[in-house]
Chain A
Amino acid sequence: TLLMSALGLLRGPAALARVCSGPWGLALGEKRMLLSPGGAATALQVASKRDGPALLPLDESELEEQFVKGHGPGGQATNKTSNCVVLKHVPSGLVVKCHQTRSVDQNRKLARKILQEKVDVFYNGENSPVLREKREAEKKKQERKKRAKETLEKKKLLKELRESSRNAAVGRTADADSLPGSTQA
């Protein structure tokens, strides 16, 4: 997925030009005859399994979603494979483009998840759980590296000590060689 600041960066002449506002983007005054798109949004409301609070939830009414132009009549009358989803968070201007899977449904959910993280960082900055977790992970990684390095150095030192003591021992046995009756391996 790519974070872009302008939709114009999308490749190809047939790139996204049409805004499909989806079930929640009906014109003003038009009767809304459907359920709220709870599916896509509810996928995000799970708090992180690890410690830390849940991220700022995304408000669907603040999102604009785009699918590839040229959908035609849609449904059975069309066979489309371009399942790329472009999701924009209008208040912040952040945009996420997702074509990770072959499933529009999955791409929409993924796009929301990623956008949610970006938005959280945007508003919470350093305090965002997203960044905090990243820093924690990086810190742990550095600590592990440090410990590994220390362990390696200890081993090296130990090896050197053993080697030098063996050399000393060899020196002594060499002297003993000349004594009669000495048993040697």
Chain B
Amino acid sequence: MGPWGRMLWTLLSGPGGRRGGTQGRVFGSWPPHPPLPRLLNPTELVSHWTGVFEKRGIPEARESSEYIVAHVLGAKTFQSLQPALWTQPLTPQQLHCVQELCSRRLQRMPVQYILGEWDFRGLSLKMAPPVFIPRPETEELVEWVLEEMAQRPPLMEAQDGPWILEVGCGSGAISLGLLTQLPKSRVIAVDREEAATRLTCENAQRLQVQDRIWIVPLDVTSEGSWTHLLPWGPVDLVVSNPPYIFHQDMEQLAPEIRSYEDPVALDGGEEGMDVITSILTLAPQLLKDSGSVFLEVDPRHPELVSSWLQSRPDLHLSLAAVRRDFCGKPRFLHVQRSGPRCSCPADPRPEPQPA
């Protein structure tokens, strides 16, 4: 076996595994087939790493290999790679790069963190642990908000508007998804974590919308923090994908999530409602009369939120609509004001009695 073959063998062997025990030393007698006499092309390389991942119990073995190989070759997906490249061997440098990235996948790092970027509604966003990775469902939250906005011409025709507050911006996905589609909109994006506000800022600059977004480090669950937002005046929309996982479910999360993403961005407390209720509590103080709240939630929340709102008539909010995600699960809530904004001295409308 010549020098190329030796290098190739090393490159393709992968690391022996970070830990010992059942997961380590899989490569002791690997590869089972004779050494490869030549450099692999993308298709072969994907098959190879898919096999490696499957042996190691890595979920989405094929998808992970495809994304990594495509990324090294400059494409976003394997399917979008030029067909001419499918049979062209990779250079040793490229192979080395693929191996580096795949070794991180063997550590269960999410693909989005491995690549350092991911797409949300066609926007390319930088990703960096531990900032929460945007989920595909959330693309539909943005879609819903855009549909709603399209039905309110006054909002769209205003010189600057609509005004939007995003709670828990993370990488900035929701805010930037809206800003890029609503050319006159203005966004105040808040997050309690500095890593998130920094990443949102970076992504806003990437997309050249930094002049229409204010990014504020803020924890909406802490007492009175919302008063810091008053200077911007009432907003048309509050939108959020707040941490909504039930605390007891946190330990069942896949290693990708548990070991790499910020638990603060996921844990919603006992019933996953802690941040949701904080948002709904501050909403009346920050929303215009015709304002709306759009939330992504756990499928168990529509009922819980509905009951909770009924237990808080002082907020004058009601659940206007529930929308399902692409898997048919009730995932998104539209909450609206059901009364006047300010507490008027003589409220003409009596409070509706619960059924």
Output the nearest chain A residue to B143 by Cβ-Cβ distance: A39
Chain B residues with Cβ below 8 Å from A104 are: 136, 139, 326
For B328-340 the 0/1 string (1 means CB < 8 A from A) is 1111000000000
Q: In chain A, residues 98-115, which have Cβ atoms closer than 8 Å to a Cβ of chain B?
A: 98-106, 108
For B233-245 the 0/1 string (1 means CB < 8 A from A) is 0000000010111
Q: Report the contact-size class of chain B (Cβ under 8 Å from the partner).
A: 35 or more
Take A26-B328, A74-B329, A79-B256 as given contacts and tell me if A102 and B77 are in contact as well, using a CB distance cutoff of 8 Å: yes
Cα(A65)–Cα(B140), bound, Å: 15
Output the nearest chain A residue to B250 by Cβ-Cβ distance: A77
Known: A75-B137, A79-B257. 11 other contacts (CB 8 A): A20-B327, A26-B324, A34-B324, A67-B326, A74-B137, A75-B331, A78-B257, A80-B60, A81-B110, A100-B79, A105-B143
Q: List 21 A-B contacts (CB under 8 A).
A: A11-B62, A20-B326, A33-B323, A34-B324, A39-B146, A39-B147, A65-B326, A73-B249, A75-B296, A75-B325, A76-B243, A78-B135, A79-B112, A79-B261, A81-B110, A81-B111, A82-B60, A99-B79, A101-B77, A104-B326, A106-B121
For B117-148 the 0/1 string (1 means CB < 8 A from A) is 01111100000000011011101100110110
For A48-80 the 0/1 string (1 means CB < 8 A from B) is 000000000000000001010001011111111
Residue B76 at the chain A interface, CB threshold 8 Å: yes
Cα(A29)–Cα(B132), bound, Å: 38
Chain B contacts to A: CB under 8 angstroms:
60, 62-64, 67, 76-80, 110-112, 118-122, 132-133, 135-137, 139-140, 143-144, 146-147, 241, 243-245, 249, 252-254, 256-257, 261, 265-266, 296, 298-299, 321-331
Cα(A1)–Cα(B80), bound, Å: 9
Question: A81 and B135: CB pair below 8 A?
Answer: no
Chain B's nearest CB lies how many Å from the CB of A87?
Answer: 12
Chain A residues with Cβ below 8 Å from B324 are: 22-23, 26, 33-34
Chain B's nearest CB lies how many Å from the CB of A64?
Answer: 12
Chain A's nearest CB lies how many Å from the CB of B51?
Answer: 12
Chain B's nearest CB lies how many Å from the CB of A137?
Answer: 20
Question: B76 and A101: CB pair below 8 A?
Answer: yes
Output the nearest chain A residue to B71 by Cβ-Cβ distance: A102
Question: Which residue of B78, B112, B146, B241 is within 8 Å of A76 (Cβ)?
Answer: B241
Question: Which residue of A74, A99, A106 is within 8 Å of B119 (Cβ)?
Answer: A106
Chain A's nearest CB lies how many Å from the CB of B321?
Answer: 7
Chain A residues with Cβ below 8 Å from B112 are: 79, 81
Chain B's nearest CB lies how many Å from the CB of A4?
Answer: 13
Residue A21 at the chain B interface, CB threshold 8 Å: yes
Chain A's nearest CB lies how many Å from the CB of B319?
Answer: 10
Take A21-B328, A101-B122, A102-B77 as given contacts and tell me if A80 and B136 are in contact as well, using a CB distance cutoff of 8 Å: yes
Question: Which residue of B80, B147, B249, B330 is within 8 Å of A35 (Cβ)?
Answer: B147
Q: Which of A25, A40, A83, A104 has the most CB of B within 10 A?
A: A104
Cα(A33)–Cα(B80), bound, Å: 36
Chain B residues with Cβ below 8 Å from A25 are: 328
Take A76-B135, A77-B249, A79-B133 as given contacts and tell me if A101 and B119 are in contact as well, using a CB distance cutoff of 8 Å: yes
Chain A residues with Cβ below 8 Å from B327 are: 20, 22, 67, 71, 74
Chain A residues with Cβ below 8 Å from B322 are: 33-34
Question: B245 and A76: CB pair below 8 A?
Answer: yes
Residue A171 at the chain B interface, CB threshold 8 Å: no
Cα(A35)–Cα(B144), bound, Å: 8
Q: In chain A, residues 12-56, which have Cβ atoms closer than 8 Å to a Cβ of chain B?
A: 12, 20-23, 25-26, 33-35, 38-40
Chain B residues with Cβ below 8 Å from A98 are: 79
Question: A82 and B139: CB pair below 8 A?
Answer: no
Nearest 4 A/B pairs, CB to CB: A105-B139, A104-B136, A102-B119, A39-B143
Chain B's nearest CB lies how many Å from the CB of A83?
Answer: 6
Question: B147 and A77: CB pair below 8 A?
Answer: no
Chain A residues with Cβ below 8 Å from B266 are: 76-77
Q: Which of A34, A67, A76, A99 has the most CB of B within 10 A?
A: A76
Question: B328 and A23: CB pair below 8 A?
Answer: yes
Chain B residues with Cβ below 8 Å from A77 are: 245, 249, 252-253, 257, 266
Take A23-B323, A39-B147, A104-B139 as given contacts and tell me if A78 and B254 are in contact as well, using a CB distance cutoff of 8 Å: yes
Take A79-B256, A105-B121 as given contacts and tell me if A100 and B77 are in contact as well, using a CB distance cutoff of 8 Å: yes
Cα(A78)–Cα(B327), bound, Å: 13
Output the nearest chain A residue to B332 by Cβ-Cβ distance: A34
Question: A34 and B323: CB pair below 8 A?
Answer: yes
Question: Which residue of A21, A34, A75 is within 8 Å of B135 (Cβ)?
Answer: A75
Question: A81 and B121: CB pair below 8 A?
Answer: no
Cα(A130)–Cα(B147), bound, Å: 29
Take A22-B324, A35-B144, A75-B325 as given contacts and tell me if A101 and B80 are in contact as well, using a CB distance cutoff of 8 Å: yes
Question: Which residue of B67, B110, B328 is within 8 Å of A20 (Cβ)?
Answer: B328
Chain B's nearest CB lies how many Å from the CB of A66?
Answer: 10
Chain B's nearest CB lies how many Å from the CB of A2?
Answer: 9
